[in-house]
Structure 1
């Protein structure tokens, strides 16, 4: 947190901003029961409840403490991202209900999903993320392998849908995964930086967590495409079933055939990977000896 912050309180919930900001518009949506104020995206998010129904509100326009850009830049990015949730609507993606302009910013309202983020860096920064008994990631890694495989099935099937819809995933990492420990359900959030194909790396180092990024996501002028997303899916598999960056079989908790499938997906040479997420997912399911669940399967 920066040294220049002021405390703000809404409905008894306190959080920090760089300076005061009006939030009267929130009252019509309901009562605030939680706030996420540590994101570096420039967005401020709220849990809202009204008449027993919960919503998740993502808002751009407030001067958040962890963001280095301007509120106007955050507003533009949020507006650009919202059509993605409509174009990529899917049973395993959080549901966008509405979005609208307010006097000092822009708000998007999503259905509330009662899951926990697997990379809750504001509460459990590394190394606590990997070792603290209350860390969602640590608790997820204690689940039986079969339950984690079902979660990965949600992730893979969604990205087959992304691919078939003509998009590529950008900045997908374990912070984009929500897991409901009570019901054993997985949903994906924060797809704000996904892009329509074809997409070229014009930045050098793209947005994202280096733990899950392919070599081309660091290469200016490289194609970011299906093989890039194959790498991303393989890296996620190692994150949830193996040693994350340590991709040795010693750290792997599932069977050898699944290990070989994930290992091919994360080859530095893109030509050695599967050609598409759909091909990777088919190989993954063949290794599990099951038929693909399809994009609408319940996870």
Structure 2
């Protein structure tokens, strides 16, 4: 029989976990004003304000309701990700401020960015993501093509930088994109699974990532995970933000035909047909805007 959820209340925010957990360490950081507790990664995150300054705190060590793994594994993944945020520090990436080990868990503190996540599945699941007027993804899709191209440029510039630093993006999808509708600023979050390049698929079909954006090799055990994989991801994101996501037909595409052809080549199932690098892809993309 499934165990009943355990309600936790911190300041004026409440959330449920699979079991009791001590969060008294949060008090020293400020006042909790929001919680993100629906992740299946094993992390739970908080918005915290102290003297008018807001921070985003990601924590591993408890058992969120959507998490089926072991907290020790979530702790290991989060602590291992910390060097990534330092090595790949960039104006388009959320900024890591501090990290430490409260009790038997692990916490990472980031600057607060008031953008909305384009895959807010905890608020707008299923069809609501595409149709609800308050869904960040729906609102984003109502923006002009020019503004969406600007957001894609941010994504591509960051991943060109990632490539230049000798890394590959893993588990990048629309849930890794934050957009501030008041300033039209885009930021990347959650690069926890990025890896040194080249890498290999060591998990088979269940390799990290959203199926909607994964390349064919991200389903095959032992397959290379490299620049060409990321080219596919960049093309898939273009179809997600400008087209019909997994439907790559031109009828769903909202930008010009030349950009469509660049994106279509990027998502070729055959690796040899794709652009060789993200840098080459972006050069072709920029020439067609």
- TM class by shorter chain equals over 0.9
Alpha-carbon offset, residue 24 of structure 1: 1.1
**Matching residue of 2:53:** 53
List structure 1 runs of 4+ shifted beyond 4 angstroms. Answer: none
Alpha-carbon offset, residue 19 of structure 1: 1.1
**Matching residue of 1:126:** 126
**TM (normalized to structure 2)?**
0.98
**Matching residue of 2:97:** 97
Q: Please list the CA deviations of residues 134-176 of structure 1 after superposition, one character each: whole Å capped at 9, or x if unmatched.
A: 1000000000000000000000000000000000000000000
Alpha-carbon offset, residue 109 of structure 1: 0.3
User: How many Å separate the matches in 2 of 1:189 and 1:4?
Assistant: 32
**Matching residue of 2:232:** 231
User: How many Å separate the matches in 1 of 2:4 and 2:274?
Assistant: 47
**Matching residue of 2:241:** 240
Q: How well do the aligned residues superpose, as a CA RMSD in angstroms? A: 0.8
Residue 262 of structure 2: SS of its match in structure 1? helix
Alpha-carbon offset, residue 102 of structure 1: 1.0
Alpha-carbon offset, residue 4 of structure 1: 2.8
Alpha-carbon offset, residue 68 of structure 1: 0.6
**Matching residue of 1:42:** 42
Alpha-carbon offset, residue 199 of structure 1: 0.5
Unaligned runs of 5+ in 2: none
Which aligned pairs between 1:1-299 and structure 2 lie closer than 5 A?
4-205=4-205, 206-288=207-289
**TM (normalized to structure 1)?**
0.95
Q: Please list the CA deviations of residues 112-132 of structure 1 after superposition, one character each: whole Å capped at 9, or x if unmatched.
A: 000000000011011110011
User: How many Å separate the matches in 2 of 1:199 and 1:156?
Assistant: 20
**Matching residue of 1:295:** none
Residue 102 of structure 1: SS of its match in structure 2? coil
Residue 288 of structure 2: SS of its match in structure 1? helix
User: How many Å separate the matches in 1 of 2:81 and 2:68?
Assistant: 19
User: How many Å separate the matches in 1 of 2:86 and 2:154?
Assistant: 18
Alpha-carbon offset, residue 233 of structure 1: 0.1
Q: Please list the CA deviations of residues 65-103 of structure 1 after superposition, one character each: whole Å capped at 9, or x if unmatched.
A: 111111111111110111110010011000000000111
Count of residues in Structure 1 that have an aligned counterpart in Structure 2: 287
